[in-house]
């Protein structure tokens, strides 16, 4: 330990030196830091205070360290394809990753450091030719590209574009931005940015505005002069393959023009476009002079809204394209490449993470460091102290290795299930899974292409990720296991995107335990922390899982393991227990639509819901019909519930009795026009009227439960409901709207857990 402390002291000494002297032009600024790299276990033991000190006294040194760290990781990516990585190099890489996260967190946490963050995050090298094309496209009054404020005229156009786009759905913007803001924060940022632009416009020369409005050609000449100035100030590390880049970008522009879109601006950050999205935001680097002037005045980065190409480029093109991106995006891209490099993290012939053997410990730890760093960078706002002013930035996610990540994730989940069933879960395994669950959930909202890969996954391999291989007693969804809650995002994505997984699970013997585990997690969470996003994701996952045909035997099977909760189940069958636990959430109005959808999806596969569940459903209908609050929404929910009743009348003689006994309620709903889905309600009334007539013919003057059920079980409800629809499709919930908003908040929780110690240090500064 003495040696480790000595090396850590050496690192502090280096940082202290950088707080007193300007080393921003030192090409070897990183060498003393690398030489002082502590053992991996001690890498995170230093506080952010030395970084803050450097930022206040020698801010340019922080930027220089980030740039040098980026070149260092890019060099590892370029030069170490198959070479053996030494333990010292693993330690150095670990420290570099953690230091970059720490520095960027500090930059975002304090307003005075925002100009530093802007320099590494919002601007990349520009190319004059593509800038000219963007300038031409911006003259289109309908264009939605938001340019960086090089001239006052361009600022005016940016302002107009902002106003035109302010009312657009926030979800589209969230997909392409750093993304971890909620909707309210986005609106706040946009308002602040527009206000700032207005202030800057007042300070700039009005003559340029008039020239832009009167003659577009004059504005073009001004722009060309600026571009020539920008070319003279480009960074020394620009790639020699500029012409190839321009040809590729020309092709991108032609594609976007064919689609009626605005071509991307040169030097912009590119991110995979969301589905059905027409406008994307990306970063742009202004001329150094303009950048210095703007940052010194406001200390706030500007965003760029431009069009994206559809689909990620080949990873091999990254070497050619990366000089077009910001420093932070380049750093992120390089560590993404290392994530599945055999000599760094050990992979099999398919490029997926392989099992770790004795002697591979450094590679296992590097996997964790790289995955954690990627998660930290794309969620850097969540790891920062909230500043007085907000800042926007955009990161490239276009080369993330989604396929090897998902397959490796499945493999690690399976191994993790085996581990915790044997009681030998290591700290590494638990921290690794915590990081991967957070990163996986994050990619689902930031990289739409990532979600598409779920569709093609082998359903049997997905099942093994939850039950283990060989099959274990406790699944990954075990309610008493600490990772069952983070695993819910994985469950939901598989259920919503991979229908073969749902079908295969329904045909397997693991299905009853799986869905009962999910319902039990809901009850555990309710008793521990009241209502939360967890309940929404559980209900919506269950809707997918019970919407498959021929699962009656599973739903009516006996529960084999009951978990200790304050609530005591009144049923013994899996399906009834799931519905019973779901109905415990009915006090939360926001969850009632999902509860109704779950009941409707289960109705055709349950032969008898029993008196408690059925009476609760009928009481819920009465409650919804007696209030005018959210009238239209209530109509829709009642309609879904009555659809379920119609289908259950076909399957259950018990429901026939309850329906006839409550015929007055259903007639009242028609008179008040409370139901949106009228066909289901008319079918119920047709059955009730016909059943009553048949009972009267039998001489029964009152509807006694036992007597009525015996008789009603013998009649054919199809005849009584002839001419009416008797089956309805399930109402599966889409990954949008409120679900997506809550998902973003949930990702914030997962990321915060992964960076709990660092976040605590930052907040204390």
pLDDT tens, 689-737? Answer: 998 888 887 766 566 667 777 888 888 898 999 888 888 999 877 666 6
Residue 107, pLDDT above cutoff 50: yes
What's the confidence (pLDDT) of residue 584?
96
Which of 154-158, 525-529, 703-707 has the least mean pLDDT? Answer: 154-158
Comparing CA positions, the residue from 46, 44, 63, 43 lying closest to residue 107 is 63
Q: What is the pLDDT of residues 485-498, one digit of tens each?
A: 889 989 999 999 89
Residue among 250, 275, 752 at smallest CA distance from 497: 275
> Using CB atoms within 10 A of its CB, is residue 639 exposed (0-12), middle (13-18) or buried (19+)?
buried
For residues 185 and 126, which has the higher predicted lDDT (pLDDT)? 185
Query: Is residue 315 over pLDDT 70?
Result: no
What's the whole-model pTM score? 0.72
Coil, helix or strand for 26? Answer: coil
Comparing CA positions, the residue from 307, 185, 207, 327 lying closest to residue 249 is 307
Cβ–Cβ under 8 Å, residues 695 and 654: no
The residues facing 41 across adjacent strands are none
pLDDT of residue 172: 34
According to the model, what pLDDT value does residue 45 have? 60
For 383-423, the pLDDT digits (tens) are 888 777 777 777 766 678 999 999 999 999 999 999 999 98
Structure confidence at residue 503 (pLDDT): 96
Alpha helices per DSSP H over 20-113: 31-35, 49-57, 59-79, 87-109
Judged by average pLDDT, the poorest of 281-295, 310-324, 739-753 is: 281-295
For residue 281, the model assigns a pLDDT of 39
Within 8 A by CB and 6+ apart from 484, the residues are 476, 477, 478, 517, 521
Lowest mean pLDDT: which of 63-67, 318-322, 400-404, 573-577?
Answer: 318-322
pLDDT at 264: 44
Confidence of residue 641 (pLDDT cuts 50, 70, 90): very high
Q: Pull the structure tokens for residue 273.
A: 């476009």
pLDDT of residue 669: 85
Q: What is the mean pLDDT of residues 657-672?
A: 87
Mean pLDDT of the chain: 76
- The confidence score (pLDDT) of residue 136 equals 57
pLDDT at 670: 81
End-to-end C-alpha distance for the chain, whole angstroms: 27
Give 485's contacts (C-beta < 8 A, 6+ positions apart). 521, 525, 534
Q: Which of 108-112, 295-299, 479-483, 654-658 has the lowest mean pLDDT?
A: 295-299
Q: How many CA atoms lie within 13 A of 573 on its CB side?
A: 17
Q: How confident is the model at residue 11 (pLDDT cuts 50, 70, 90)?
A: confident
Determine what percent of the chain falls in helix, strand and coil, rounding each to the nearest 5: 65, 0, 35
Rg over CA atoms, the chain = 30
User: Hey, which of 235-239, 480-484, 581-585 has the most confident mean pLDDT?
Assistant: 581-585
In this prediction, residue 42 carries a pLDDT of 62
Q: Does residue 368 or residue 755 have the better pLDDT?
A: 368
Q: Where are the alpha helices (DSSP H) in 386-510?
A: 402-422, 427-446, 448-452, 459-467, 488-497, 499-506
Q: Mapping DSSP to helix (H, G, I), strand (E, B) and coil, where does residue 699 land?
A: coil
- Residue 332 and residue 261: Cα distance in Å, rounded? 28
Mean pLDDT, range 432-439, rounded to an integer: 92
State percent of the chain over pLDDT 90. Answer: 36
Mean pLDDT across 205-212: 45
Question: Does the pLDDT of residue 663 top 50, yes or no?
Answer: yes
Residue 289 has pLDDT above 50, yes or no: no
537-567 pLDDT, tens per residue?
A: 999 999 999 999 889 999 999 998 888 889 9
Instruction: Tally the residues of the chain.
Output: 765
Question: pLDDT (tens digit, 9 = 90+) per residue, 238-279?
Answer: 444 444 444 444 555 454 444 444 444 433 444 444 444 343
Mean pLDDT of 522-550: 92
Helix ranges restricted to H, 204-269? 206-214, 216-232, 242-258
């Amino acid at each position: 330990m003495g040696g480790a402390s000595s090396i850590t002291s050496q690192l502090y000494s280096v940082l202290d030196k950088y707080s007193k002297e300007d080393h921003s032009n030192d090409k070897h600024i990183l060498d003393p830091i690398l030489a002082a790299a502590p053992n991996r276990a001690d890498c995170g033991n230093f506080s952010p205070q030395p970084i803050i000190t450097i930022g206040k006294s020698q801010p340019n040194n922080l930027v220089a360290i980030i740039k040098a760290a980026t070149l260092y990781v890019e060099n590892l990516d370029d030069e170490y394809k198959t070479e053996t990585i030494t333990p010292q190099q693993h330690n150095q890489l670990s420290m570099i990753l953690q230091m970059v996260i720490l520095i960027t967190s500090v930059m975002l946490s304090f307003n005075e450091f925002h100009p530093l963050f802007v320099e590494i995050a919002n601007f990349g090298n520009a190319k004059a030719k593509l800038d000219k094309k963007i300038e031409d496209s911006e003259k289109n009054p309908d264009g939605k590209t938001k340019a960086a404020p090089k001239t006052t005229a361009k600022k005016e156009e940016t302002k107009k574009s902002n106003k035109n786009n302010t009312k657009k759905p926030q979800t589209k913007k969230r997909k392409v931005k750093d993304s971890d803001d909620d909707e309210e924060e986005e609106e706040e940022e946009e308002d602040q940015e527009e206000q700032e632009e207005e202030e800057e416009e007042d300070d700039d020369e009005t003559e340029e505005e008039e020239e832009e409005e009167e003659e577009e050609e004059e504005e073009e000449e001004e722009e060309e002069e600026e571009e020539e100035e920008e070319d003279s100030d480009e960074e020394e590390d620009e790639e020699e393959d500029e012409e190839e880049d321009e040809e590729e970008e020309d092709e991108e522009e032609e594609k976007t023009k064919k689609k009626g879109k605005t071509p991307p601006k040169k030097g912009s950050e590119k991110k995979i476009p969301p589905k059905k999205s027409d406008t994307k935001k990306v970063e742009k680097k202004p001329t150094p002079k303009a950048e210095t002037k703007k940052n010194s005045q406001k200390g706030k980065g500007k965003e760029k809204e431009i069009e994206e190409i559809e689909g990620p480029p080949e990873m091999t093109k990254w070497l050619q394209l990366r000089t077009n991106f910001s420093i932070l995006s380049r750093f992120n891209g390089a560590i993404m490449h290392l994530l599945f490099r055999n000599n760094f993290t050990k992979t099999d012939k398919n490029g997926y993470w392989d099992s770790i053997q004795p002697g591979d410990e450094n590679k296992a730890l590097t996997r964790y460091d790289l995955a954690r760093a990627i998660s930290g960078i794309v969620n850097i706002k969540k790891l920062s102290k909230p500043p007085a002013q907000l800042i926007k930035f955009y990161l490239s996610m276009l080369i993330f290795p989604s396929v090897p990540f998902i397959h490796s994730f499945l493999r690690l989940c399976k191994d993790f299930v085996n581990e915790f069933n044997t009681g030998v879960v290591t700290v590494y395994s638990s921290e690794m899974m915590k990081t991967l669950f957070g990163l996986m959930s994050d990619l689902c909202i930031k990289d739409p292409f990532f979600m598409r890969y779920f569709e093609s996954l082998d359903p049997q391999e997905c099942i093994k990720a939850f039950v283990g291989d060989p099959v274990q007693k406790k699944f990954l969804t075990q309610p008493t296991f600490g990772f069952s809650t983070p695993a819910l995002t994985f469950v939901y994505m598989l259920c919503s995107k991979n229908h073969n997984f749902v079908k295969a699970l329904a045909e397997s013997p693991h299905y009853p335990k799986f869905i009962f585990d999910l319902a039990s997690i809901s009850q555990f969470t309710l008793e521990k922390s009241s209502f939360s996003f967890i309940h929404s994701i559980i209900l919506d996952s269950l809707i997918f899982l019970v919407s498959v045909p021929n699962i009656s035997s599973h739903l009516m099977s006996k529960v084999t393991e009951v978990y200790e909760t304050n609530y005591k189940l009144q049923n013994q069958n899996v399906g009834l227990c799931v519905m019973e636990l779901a109905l415990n959430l009915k006090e939360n109005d926001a969850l009632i639509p999902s509860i109704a959808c779950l009941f409707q999806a289960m109705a055709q596969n349950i032969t008898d819901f029993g008196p408690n569940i059925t009476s609760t459903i009928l009481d819920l209908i009465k409650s919804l019909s007696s209030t005018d609050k959210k009238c239209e929404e209530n109509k829709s929910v009642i309609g879904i519930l009555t659809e379920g009743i119609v289908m259950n009348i076909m399957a259950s003689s018990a429901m026939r009795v309850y329906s006839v006994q409550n015929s007055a309620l259903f007639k009242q709903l028609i008179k008040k026009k409370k139901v949106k889905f009228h066909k289901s309600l008319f079918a119920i009334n047709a059955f009730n009227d016909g059943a009553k007539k048949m009972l009267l013919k039998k001489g029964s003057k009152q509807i006694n439960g036992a007597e009525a059920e015996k008789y009603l079980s013998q009649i054919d409800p199809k005849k009584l409901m002839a001419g009416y629809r008797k089956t309805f499709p399930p109402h599966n919930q889409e990954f949008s709207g409120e679900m997506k908003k809550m998902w973003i908040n949930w990702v914030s929780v997962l990321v915060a857990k992964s960076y709990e110690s660092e976040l605590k240090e930052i907040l204390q500064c």
